[in-house]
Structure 1
Amino acid sequence: MKTIAFPDERLKVHGLHWFEEDKPVVRRLPQRLKGTFREVVWTLAQSPAGGRIRFSTDSLVIGVRATVPDNDVMHHITKIGQSGFDIYVDGYFAGSVSPNAQGKISNDWNWTVGTDKQFRNIEISMPLYKPVTIESIVLDDDAIIKEPRPYRVSKPIVYYGTSITQGGCASTPGTSYQSFISRWLDADFVNLGFSGNGFGEPELAAAISEIDASCFVVDFWANVGGDDYGKKLPGFVGPIKENYPETPIVVVQPFFFASDRLDCSRHETMRRDSEAFVKRLSEQGDKNIHLLDGYKMISKEETFGLVDGVHPNSLGFYFMAKGMAPLLKSVLGL
C-alpha cells in the first residue's frame, strides 16, 4: 500500500471554497475574514460539512487516515454523520467510517471499491459536525490517480442556512440534502449552514458574495423568529444580487415541523413574508429570484423523516432533496 499525504494536487477538494487559501486546514470560511464573524460562527465553520475529496483511480483499496479532536456524539445524530467519512464509487454508496475512542479515523475500503483494475470515480465526504485533520489517502502500491470526472454543473450551488443546512441529522455525510441533489444533478456545491446560527447576517452575505455560484439557496428560516425571516431577507439577499444579478437565488420556505400540527403560526408568518419578498422582486422585473414551497420537501405526511420533530434524518433529507431538486434543475436550465 502507498500513502498519499493530504493535501495533494491529485486529490481534488470540492465544497470548501477557500481551501486553497488555508490548506491543509479543511474549513468552510477563510482565515482572513475570521475577525468579521461571530466566534460561534467561526467555530462552526471548522466542521467541513459539504467538503469532498474527489479523484479517479484504478486502486482496489482506498483508505483514509484522519483525526478528530474528540469522540463526543450529539444525541440525535450518528457518529458517522457527525465525525466520520463516507465513500461513493461511480456515484454509488460504498461504505463509511467513524473515529475510534481516541478520535483516530483509519479505514481501508477494500471490499467495496472493485474487483478488477479499472478506473473509477471516487468521492469521499468529510464530517458534518466535527473539525478534522486529514492526514492521508491510502491506495494500492501500483495505483494510478487521474482527474475525477468533472461535474456537469461546475459552478457550485451555494447553500446558506442553519443546522438543517449543515446536515443535522444525516446518518452519513453523503446523505445531507445537498449531497443527494449533487449526485442527481451532477452539480458541485458549497455548504454554509451554521447550526443554531443561521441569522442572515451581513458578514455571511459578504463572504458568500465572493463565490461565483451557479445558484444561491437561502435556507435560514429555522433560526429566526416568525417576523424576522421577512425582515432579514432583503439585507441578506441584496448584497448577493448586487454582485451576481444574473445568478438564480432560491428562497426556501419552512417545511412542516412535528409541532406545526398543534400551532403553525410562526411558520405561516415566514411563509407569507418570504412569498411577499419574492413576489415584490419579481414584480420589479427580477427574473432570477425564486421561491421554494417547504411543504414540497416535508409536509405533515413526511414528518416521520424528522429525528426529533425538527431535524431531518437521512430519509428526511431525501424528502427535502426530492422536493428541491426539480426547482434547481429548472433554474439551472438542466
Structure 2
Amino acid sequence: MNTPWTDVLTLGLRGRGWPTEARDRPFDRLPAADTALLEPDLARLTRQAAGLYVDFVTAADTITARWRIDDAFAGSDSPYTTPLAFAGLELYGMTADGSWRWAGCLGPNGPAGGEGALSRARLDGVERRYRLYLPLRSRVLSCEISASRDGDSAAIHAVQAGPPSPHETRERPVCYYGTSIVHGVGVDRPGMAHASQLDRALHREVINLGVAGRARCETEIADALGRLDPALFVFDVLPNNSADEVRSRVPAFVKRIRNHHPETPILLLGDREFGDFVFCPERSSTKIAKDAALVEVSEALRRDNCSHLFLSLHENWFGRDAEGTVDASHPNSLGAHRFASVLAELIRPLMQTHKS
C-alpha cells in the first residue's frame, strides 16, 4: 500500500536558532535578514543544513525518506566529505536507557537528493523516539518521511505528542560557532559531526553554526548570535585565524556578544594539534602561538570585566595518535567522537554551575 508522507517541518525542526524569524528557505540555518548582510560565499555556507535534525516517535518496522537538495554532492568543495555526509540522511533511535544508537542511513540517489528506506533491515516495530539528521553540506529544499509496519501505514508523531523522555532537557540550547571542523568536514555521516555527537551526549539541543573556511569573528554573525538565548556559547575559531588575528578579532567579537548577553557563559576553545605534528614541527609552533594569543585575549577580557568567560586548551582534541584525523587538520568520525567526549566533560559542570 502507499503510505502517507509527513513533511518533517510539521514535526519540529531542531538544531536551528531563531525559530520565529523568516528565512529564504525553512532549512537555512540563518534568518533571511542576516543572510542578506553576508558576502555571497559565507551566505551560501550558512544555507547548508549542518546540525539540523528532526525527532519523532513511531512503532514502524520500516521508515522511508525522500528529500530534495539544490547542491550536487559531486560539487563538494572538500575531497574528504563523503556523499553520505554531504547530501545524505542518518537515523538514530533512542534505547530504553535513554542512549542514542545508530539505526540507519541513506545516501543520495543523484544530484538532487534521494528516496528510500533508512534501515537496511526491518526494524523491531517497538514504539520509540527516532532522530533524523539532515545533510551536512547541502541546502535542503524539502524532506519527508513515511512509516509502515507489516505492510500497513504506521503513525508518526511529533515528540511532544509521543511518550515523554526522562532523558532530554527542555532547557536552552548550546550555540556552537566555529570553522569547517564544527561544520562537519571530514566525518563520514551527517550525525557524526562532533556538534551533533555533543547534542546526543548532553541530551541538549546544540545549534551548529560551523562555517567551512570561515569563522573569522564576523560582525554580522555576532549580531545574529546576540538575538539567541542559549545556555552557553562555544567559540572555536582558532583554526581559521592567525595568532595576530586572534588578538585583533576575538575581543571585539566577544564584547559584541556581551552587549546582548552579559551573564551567559562563553567557552573559548584552543586550537587543534595537526595530526602530522610529529613530522612537521612547525605545526606545533603554530598551535602554541595561537593558544598563547587566546590566553592573552581571555585574560584581557576578564580584566575588562567580561565575566563568565572560560578557556580550554587541549593537547589534541582528536587524540594524539593521529588516527582521529582525515587530513591532519579535520577530524574523521573517530576524532569527532573524541572531541565531543572531551567537550561534554567540559560543558556539563558549566551547565550545573550556571544552572542554564
CA distance in 2, matches of 1:24, 1:119: 32
Q: Is the 8 A contact 2:103 2:119 kept in 1?
A: no
C-alpha displacement at 1:7, in angstroms?
4.7
Distance 2:192 2:38 in 1: 28
SS in 1 for 2:155: coil
Instruction: Decide whether aligned partners of structure 1 residues 278 and 257 sit closer, same or farther in structure 2, where only a CA change above 3 A counts.
Output: same
Cα pair 2:230 2:264 within 8 Å, conserved = yes
Identity of aligned residues (%): 24
Q: Kindly state the Cα deviation for residue 285 of structure 1 after the two structures are TM-superposed.
A: 5.3
Q: Secondary structure at the match of 1:198?
A: coil
By how many angstroms is 1:123 displaced?
0.6
1:98-247 equivalence runs, <5 A:
98-109=107-118, 114-116=123-125, 118-140=126-148, 141-148=153-160, 149=164, 151-152=168-169, 154-247=171-264
User: Does the CA-based 8 Å contact 1:89-1:113 persist in structure 2?
Assistant: no
Aligned length: 331
Normalising by structure 2, report the TM-score. Answer: 0.86
Task: Output one character per residue of 1:93-116: Cα deviation in whole Å (capped at 9) or x when no partner.
Answer: 111111123433112235557323
Deviations 1:239-267 (CA, angstroms, capped at 9, x unpaired): 21221122110001001013544212222
C-alpha distance 293-103 of structure 1, shift in aligned 2 (>3 A): same
What's the RMSD between the two structures over aligned residues? 2.1
Give the secondary structure class of the aligned counterpart of 1:159: strand
Aligned to 2:97: none
Work out whether 1:41 is the aligned partner of 2:60: no
Q: Structure 2 CA distance, aligned partners of 1:185 and 1:64?
A: 27
- 89, 96, 113: which is aligned to 2:93? 89
Q: Equivalent residue for 2:323?
A: 304
Distance 1:23 1:7 in 2: 17
SS of 2:36's equivalent? helix
1:19-58 paired onto structure 2 within 5 Å: 20=20, 21-22=22-23, 25-58=26-59
Distance 1:302-1:289 versus aligned 2 partners, 3 A rule:
farther
Unaligned runs of 5+ in 2: 95-99
1:272 Cα deviation from its structure 2 partner? 0.7
What CA deviation, in whole Å up to 9, does each residue of 1:21-47 have, x standing for no partner?
A: 338531111112222111111011111
Structure 1: stretches of 5+ with no match in the other structure: none
Task: State the distance in 2 between where 1:314 and 1:271 align.
Answer: 25
Q: Please list the CA deviations of residues 48-105 of structure 1 after superposition, one character each: whole Å capped at 9, or x if unmatched.
A: 1000011112222211111223131442121111111100011111111111234331
Aligned to 1:14: 14
1:256-267 pair list within 5 angstroms: 256-261=273-278, 262-263=281-282, 264-267=284-287
1:124 aligned partner, one-letter code: L
How far has the Cα of 1:236 moved from its partner?
0.8
| Residue 310 of structure 1, CA deviation | 0.6
Question: Partner letter of residue 43 of structure 2?
Answer: W
Label 1:302 to 1:159 Cα distance change in 2 as closer, same or farther (>3 A).
farther
Query: 1:88·1:95 contact (CA, 8 Å) conserved in 2?
Result: yes
The Cα offsets for residues 262-317 of structure 1, whole Å up to 9 and x where unpaired, read as: 21222212101111222333455554111111325235x23221101111110110
Partner of 1:71: 73
What do residues 182-208 of structure 1 show as CA deviations (whole Å, max 9, x unaligned)? Answer: 111111011111111111111111111
Change (3 A) 1:54 1:44: same
SS for the counterpart of 2:175 is strand
Aligned match of 1:275 in 295, 299, 313? 295
**Letter in structure 2 aligned against 1:330:** P
Structure-2 separation of matches of 1:142 and 1:76: 38
1:89–1:121 contact (8 Å) kept in structure 2: yes
Residues 275-294 of structure 1 mapped to structure 2, 5 A cutoff: 275-283=295-303, 286-294=306-314
TM-score by length of 1: 0.92
The whole-number CA distance in structure 1 between the counterparts of 2:156 and 2:323 is 45
Kept in 2, the 8 Å contact 1:7–1:24? The answer is: no
What letter is aligned with 1:16? R
CA distance in 1, matches of 2:42, 2:19: 17
How far off its partner does 1:5 sit? 4.0
